[in-house]
Structure 1
Amino acid sequence: MSSHIKVVVWNEFRHELEDEKVKQIYPKGIHQVIADYLKKEQFHVETATLDEPEHGLTNEVLDRCDVLIWWGHRAHEEVKEEIVERIHKRVLQGMGLIVLHSGHFSKIFKKLMGTSCNLKWREANEKERLWVVAPGHQIVQGIGPYIELDQEEMYGEFFDIPEPDQVIFISWFEGGEVFRSGCTFTRGKGKIFYFRPGHETYPTYHNAEILKVIANAVRWAAPVDSAEITFGNVKPLEIIKSIEVGKTS
Structure 2
Amino acid sequence: MEAASAQWFWMEDRFPGADQWNSLHERLVDAWRTQASLLPPGTPLYFAHSAGDELGEDLMTVAYLRETAEQAGLRTEAISVEDIGWEGLSGRFVDKRFRFIRSCFKLYPWEWLVTDRFGPHVLDTLDNGGGTGSTLWIEPAWKMLLSNKALLAVLWELFPGHPHLLPAYLDGPRELARTTGYVAKPLLGREGAGVTVHPPGEEPILRDEPCCYQELAPLPDFDGNRVVLGTWVVEGESAGLGIRESAGLVTDEYARFIPHVIL
Report the structure, 1 or 2, having the larger helix content: 1
TM-score by length of 2: 0.36
TM-score by length of 1: 0.37
